[in-house]
Amino acid sequence: MPAYDEDGVRKQITFRSKKQSNDQKLNEKAFLCIYVDQENKDKNEISSIEVKSYEEIQKADLPLKVKEKFNAK
């Protein structure tokens, strides 16, 4: 999936999520804050083993440079 870091740099992230109940399914249009353990910050592809956790966030909580990418205000 395409993603942007806090500086607005586009990254490509691959990961899977196992949600246990329908109440916790990811919203298709959700914004996710994805936490990664990545040694090379210049790398533009992030694998599932580098993704440590994630959380759904609101548009208002996006970093400013990311909001600009989505024209979100």
Identify which has the larger pLDDT, 16 or 66: 66
CB pairs under 8 A, 24+ apart, for 53-60? 54/15, 54/17, 56/26, 56/27, 56/30, 56/31, 56/32, 57/31, 57/32, 57/33, 58/31, 59/31
**Residue 46: beta bridge partners?**
13
Whole-model pTM? 0.69
- Of 13 and 25, the one with more pLDDT: 13
Mean pLDDT, all residues of the chain:
81
Q: Is the pLDDT of residue 73 over 60?
A: no
Q: What average pLDDT score do residues 16-29 get?
A: 68
- The residue that leads in pLDDT, 26 or 67, is 67
- State mean pLDDT over 32-52: 80
